[in-house]
Structure 1
Amino acid sequence: MSQALDDLTKHGVSIYLDDISRSRLESGDLRRLVERDSVVGVTTNPSIFKKALSDGDGYDKTISDLARSEFSAADALRILTCMDVRDAADMMAPIHRKTDGHDGWVSLEVNPFYANDTEATVAEATLLHWMVGRENVMLKVPATHAGFPAVTELIARGIPVNVTVIFSLTTHDQALDAYMTGLERAHQRGLNAWKVRSVASFYLARLDDAIDRELDSVNAPAAAELRGKVALAHARLAHQAYDDLHNGERWRTLSHSIPGLAPQRLLWASTSTKDDRYSDTRYVTQLAIPGSINTMPEKTLRAVSDHGVIPASPLGSDPDSARQIMRDLQALGISFDKMARQLETQAVTGFQKDWREILDVLASRLATR
């Protein structure tokens, strides 16, 4: 293991791989990343599955079997994704047991076309939870108006949830509330709420990319000074909100009733730098915050391993300068909340596009078998 990855782990950061494929599983590559690079979890999304299905022939035999059994493209997609996630979860199961559920998680996306339908999201997530049949799998639910009550109901049923595509503190607050409400309901129903887990996935590089484009359109020295600073500042404030919640009365009351209750952890996503002017490790090394998760594609993992340097103090220790950055952004006439809402919508729309394209490819391949 490299010094940087070792330092991350010692700081209490959980390293997750943002990728999965049949070839990665069957070749032993994922296992090597676990053994060599301290990877302790896996995240997936429709874009990742789209790439996996497009590369190589790892899925050919299974698709042939599904075609012979006359499965639809939608059901075939459920089966293929559940197979990969189940196998990854089995590989991560020893970590899950060793850490008592802190790590060893694999995330599986609910059909993004249900993002604005609470009942459909709950039904699909419950079905996928049953199909995978592994306790260390989180169902990914987007942070939409309909998604939050779905999160609450799933947590109340004891189903772990990754609340995804979060770009703002407002959305994060809603994700935290949805999780807390779900825990309270689970406790009322007599479930073992202390076993339930959730993460809140903040997107970073996409946020900076969009904000920087707005800043570049402002003819002012102050705008140039803010380039590349907003996503990390926002992450600081998210960490502050996390601390505030778990020092608050509501959490104290619930954790007193349910000893060993787990907080909704922060997960840093979209960690692959999009601007070549920035360090390709910045969304990892600058977020060495104890207790957080950093999920990264292998390219970013390799960059951190090769030349990443972890600072002595975690970024989350300085919220005051982060608040000033957000005030400076507002002073330039850029509405952060408006942009965050647009990005959340665009992220869901992007996943829907990938999902539709996967279904089209599968339908074509099923028809020719």
Structure 2
Amino acid sequence: INVTLLFSFKSYQNTLNAFIESRVKNKKSRSVASFFISRIDTAADSELDKNSNHFHKIAISNAYNAYNYFNENRSKMDQNFQKLLWASTSVKAEDLDQDYYCINLPMKNTVNTLPPETLNYLLKSKTLENSSLNNFEHYSNILSEAEKFINLDDITSHLLINGIDLFEKSYNSLLEKIDEKIKKFSRT
């Protein structure tokens, strides 16, 4: 099961809690929770001063919160636990290194989706090591401080609505193409 379009920490909490509850009935299920990263910074950065200590750090801070919650609840799951999947980890900002999100989020028991260019860049230039939660307090403080300047709940709600809209358009486009193919083959 892939639970996707997770932007907010609260949505992730609800997702993990539902997975843990479901394990009572079905111990064989496998799952990932797709937690989106770079889109959050793109949206948050548009509301922040470029010289702010929070610039380009909201998404990673949000991800650290999710990962910390995962770790706090890991003991409630057996070996078939729900993994966090870092989605949308390609860099959108031109002033960031191509591997910015990857090097900040290599955490144990997570999955990272990478575009081929980023993967090739990493393979040529970097050695990734697991991040530790020693940085958790730092990133937690960033989110607390940033609340003075941005409303992360509003940002993540807006991203979810846009994401659903994009998925819906893509799905409808696929259905139209299938319908065209059916009509084409039924005429022959």
Identify whether the pair has TM-score above 0.5, normalized to the shorter chain.
yes
Deviations 1:144-200 (A, max 9, x none): xxxxxxxxxxxxxxxxx11111111100110011101111133xxxxxx1x321111
Aligned to 1:200: 33
4+ runs deviating over 6 angstroms: none
2:70 to 221, 224, 242: 242
CA contact (8 A) 2:98 2:118 kept: yes
Q: Which has the higher helix share?
A: 1
Higher relative contact order (CA 8 A, sep 6+): 2
How far apart in 2 are the matches of 1:270 and 1:336? 17
Return the offset for 1:309: 4.1
Which residue among 6, 17, 21 is the counterpart of 1:181? Answer: 21
Matched residue type, 1:227: F
Q: Point out the more displaced range, 302-311 or 264-273.
A: 302-311
Write the mapping of 1:42-121 to structure 2, written as runs, cut at 5 A.
none
Bigger radius of gyration: 1
| 2:154 paired residue number | 338
1:171 partner amino acid? S
Q: Deviations over 1:263-308 (max 9, x none)?
A: 2111111011111111111121221111111111222212211223
TM-score after normalising by structure 1? 0.47
Q: Distance in 2 between matches of 1:287 and 1:325?
A: 16
**Aligned partner of 2:163: which letter?**
A
Report the CA distance between 1:327 and its aligned residue: 1.1
Instruction: Tell me which residue corresponds to 1:303.
Output: 121
Query: What SS is found at the alignment partner of 1:267?
Result: strand
Offset at residue 315 of structure 1 (A) = 4.8
- Cα distance between partner residues in 1 of 2:106 and 2:113: 12
1:246: how far off? 2.3
Q: Is the 8 A contact 2:34 2:86 kept in 1?
A: yes
TM-score w.r.t. structure 2 length?
0.89
2:184 corresponds to which residue?
A: 368
* In 2: Cα distance, 1:230 partner to 1:286 partner: 12
* 1:166–1:172 Cα contact (<8 Å) kept: yes
1:236–1:315 contact (8 Å) kept in structure 2 = no
Query: Structure 2: any 5+ residue segments left out of the alignment?
Result: none
Q: Does 1:359 align with 2:175?
A: yes
Alignment RMSD, CA only?
A: 1.9
CA contact (8 A) 1:286 1:310 kept: no
- Equivalent-residue separation in structure 2 for 1:306 and 1:363 (angstroms): 44
1:362 deviates by 2.7
Aligned residues: 185
SS at match of 1:279: coil
Sequence identity percentage: 26
